[in-house]
Amino acid sequence: MSVNEENMVVRETVSLTPAQLREDIEHPENVRIKFDDSVRKAPFDIGSLSYIRRRFSSITWKDAEEPTPVILNSFRKERRDMLINIFDHISSSKYTDYSRLTKLNDVKSVVDECDQFGCSEFMENPEKCRFAYKALSIEWRHQIKIGKISNNKGAILQRTFASLIALCFSREQSTYILERINRIKYLRNPSKPPKEQHFNQYIKTTIALARQLKSFVVEENDFPIKLKMPDYETFVFHSHGGNLKTPYTSKQQNIYNFEEGRLATFDEWKGTVKGGLKSDYDASVSNFEEKNRNKRHERRIDFATLSMQAYMKIFILLTGAQPTEVKQLEYSDSFVLEKDSFKNDFRAIKFRARGREVSYSLGDSYGYALFKEYLDLRSWILNGTKCKYLFFSVIHKQNERKERSLVFRQVGSGRNFYRYFDRIKGVYVPKDFGDITSCPARKYKNLILSELKVSIETRASVLNHTENTNASDYTETTPERQAEEFQAHWDAVKKARQHLDLIGKENKNITTGHCVEEGEPESEIDNPPIEPDCKNPYGCLFCTKYSCHADEEDAHKLYSLLFVIELVRDESTNFAHAEKTFQILAIRAKEILKSMADKSEVHQVMINKIEKKVMVNGVLTTFWERRLDQYERMGIIASA
- So where are the chain's domains? 5-178, 221-294, 296-475, 479-634
How far is the C-alpha of 35 from the C-alpha of 525, rounded, in Å? 55
Long-range contacts of 396-401 (CB under 8 A, 24+ apart): 396/298, 396/301
Q: What is the pLDDT of residues 495-537, one digit of tens each?
A: 555 555 544 445 788 888 888 888 888 888 777 788 888 888 8
Q: What local confidence, expressed as pLDDT, does residue 534 receive?
A: 85
The pTM score is: 0.50
What's the 3-state SS for 520-581? Answer: CCCECCCCCCCCCECCEHHHHHHECCEEEECCHHHHHHHHHHHHHHHHHHHHCCCHHHHHHH
Alpha helices in 188-260 (DSSP H): 196-218
Q: What is the pLDDT of residues 438-449, one digit of tens each?
A: 656 655 555 555
The residue among 566 and 360 whose pLDDT is bigger is 566
Q: What percent of the chain has pLDDT over 70?
A: 76
| Cα angle 93, 441, 449; round to 5 | 125
The residue among 233 and 547 whose pLDDT is bigger is 233
Peptide bond connecting 28 to the previous residue in cis, omega within 30 degrees of 0? no
Determine how many CB atoms are found less than 10 A away from the CB of residue 21. Answer: 22
How far is the C-alpha of 199 from the C-alpha of 451, rounded, in Å? 9
Confidence of residue 551 (pLDDT cuts 50, 70, 90): confident
Chain centroid, CA 154 distance in Å = 18
CA-based nearest residue to 519, from 499, 498, 543: 543
CA-based nearest residue to 585, from 480, 489, 477: 489
453 dihedral zone (left: phi>0; alpha: psi -120 to 50; beta): left
The residues with which 536 forms a beta bridge, in sequence order, are: 533
72-76 average pLDDT score: 94
Does 109 have pLDDT greater than 70?
yes
The residues with which 395 forms a beta bridge, in sequence order, are: 407
Q: What local confidence, expressed as pLDDT, does residue 476 receive?
A: 36
What's at 255, amino acid-wise?
Answer: I
Whether residue 549 contacts residue 604, with contact meaning beta carbons closer than 8 Å, is answered with no
Does 113 have pLDDT greater than 90?
yes
Q: Provide the CATH number for the domain formed by 296-475 in this structure.
A: 1.10.443
Confidence of residue 452 (pLDDT cuts 50, 70, 90): low
